A and B are shown apart, each in its own frame.
Chain A
Amino acid sequence: MATTTVTRENVEEKVVEALAELGPEPAQITPDATFESLDVDSLDLVELTQVVEEEFGVVIPNEAAAKLTTVGDAIEYVVAHGS
């Protein structure tokens, strides 16, 4: 399923795009922004993990997703776990 190569640039672009669809203003979606500040809750995070899995083939288990607090955390996780 995964079609996109895992590079920091690709991951950042896709994560920001996916988060923007959930509601936050694109300008607010920076690596330092916390999900709490973006009003992104656990249900939104599940949607984000689904997008990431489909795009990059990286599975973020629920326990790991629960530990992500910032946009940067999510990007780092995918970059670190991408093949």
Chain B
Amino acid sequence: MNRRVAITGLGAVSPLGVGARPLYERWRDGESGIEDGLGRCREFDPAEFLSTKEARRSDRFAQLAIAASEEALAEAGWSGDGQPPYDPERVGCVVGTGVGGLGTIEAQHDVLRDRGPGRVSPLSVPLLMANAATAALAMRHGLRGPAQTTVSACAAGSDALGAALRMIRAGDADAVVAGGAEAALTPLARSAFAAMGAVSVSGVSRPFDARRDGFVMGEGAGILVLEELEAAEARGATVLAELAGYGASADAHHITAPEPDGRGAARAIELALEDAAMAPSDIDYVNAHGTSTPMNDRAETEALKTALGPAAYEIPISSTKSAIGHLLGGAGAVEAVATVLALQARTAPPTLGYAEPDEGLDLDYVPDGPRSIGNGRPPVALSSSFGFGGHNAVLCLAGR
């Protein structure tokens, strides 16, 4: 039996607002959520989703994931009686993150230093642990199947969706609530990324442009409801798109730099295509990792040329990070949400701020506004994520 995976719900909290549609629509319309060189979720108010007690018991990255999950489950029609429409033991949960509750770690370290070990909060560990968002969603929604967390830096969100896809295909679960979350706009993380020269000094995210000078740090969460396709159709769910394939690889090259020829990334793209039984000519849109760092955007361009061949020059490629910055472990999931909506609308949003071509970066980065995709048939997209440490994760998403 060949089990396929439907996407039936989307949720996002991003610098472009609370909600999947605001993310997609504002990006498509050329709006940026970046302010003063940071992509903060300024419109997010935890009190809209969490009681005082719940808010105290979750780090910001988990709060963002909870808010995104509420939207995703509501869209999937799961929110009615507080139970998933499946045996709860057959519903999994996978939420990726780069680092987990970093804000909690920093705050509690301040307490330790300033007030002594006896004042460190008993909630520290459950808040800071990287699996806290996964645990929070499983508890909140009564998901009793496999629950785990992917931690692969900026590929974590895509790896989470890949792990969920395989869980359903393998028959370990009939549905999985999956995505990624990050809230690392903390003094330590900002200083650390700045020290390694990864973040933009200009504070502008302009992927693939000759003037790009690093990524803009962002925060946010994306959560998707995945269901085994036949089961989703049987219960009358609206299938938004299909998660058709996943490919993953490691560069085994350098702790931060990608392989300059993008060989590892290319292999992940090829594996995702193979997994989805698609050819390069089937791809209508690429939602690129596109971080706006000099190295990533060049290596990614090389990887796309290697994996897609001549088709790479024909496919519109845009980067969500041009509008929201880099959401680290949340990036892959938030970008998958945006990609699904692009497939639904058959319209690829542009790479904002792109104006000056760089030598060798000669693909179609969708510089001039939204672009129609699919030629009247359901379009297919790739969404790429690459993480420090050389993690490459690529998703293939098929429209309906």
Contacts and interface: CB of A to CB of B under 8 A. Distances in A.
A22 interface: yes
A46 B118 contact: no
A34 interface: no
Interface of B: 51-53, 56, 115, 118-119, 121-123, 126
B147 to A, nearest CB: 20
A23 B118 contact: no
Contacts, number: 22
B128 to A, nearest CB: 14
Interface of A: 21-23, 39, 43, 46-47, 50, 53-54
A47 B121 contact: yes
A47 B53 contact: no
Interface of A is mostly: helix
A43 B118 contact: no
B121 to A, nearest CB: 7
A40 to B, nearest CB: 9
B123 A47 contact: yes
A22 B51 CA distance: 10
A54 B52 contact: no
Nearest to A20: B52
A30 B333 CA distance: 45
B118 A53 contact: yes
B53 A22 contact: yes
Contact of A22 (B56, B118, B119, B126): B56
B56 A50 contact: no
Given A22-B53, A23-B53, A53-B118, 11 more contacts: A21-B52, A22-B52, A23-B51, A39-B53, A43-B123, A46-B122, A47-B121, A47-B123, A50-B119, A54-B115, A54-B119
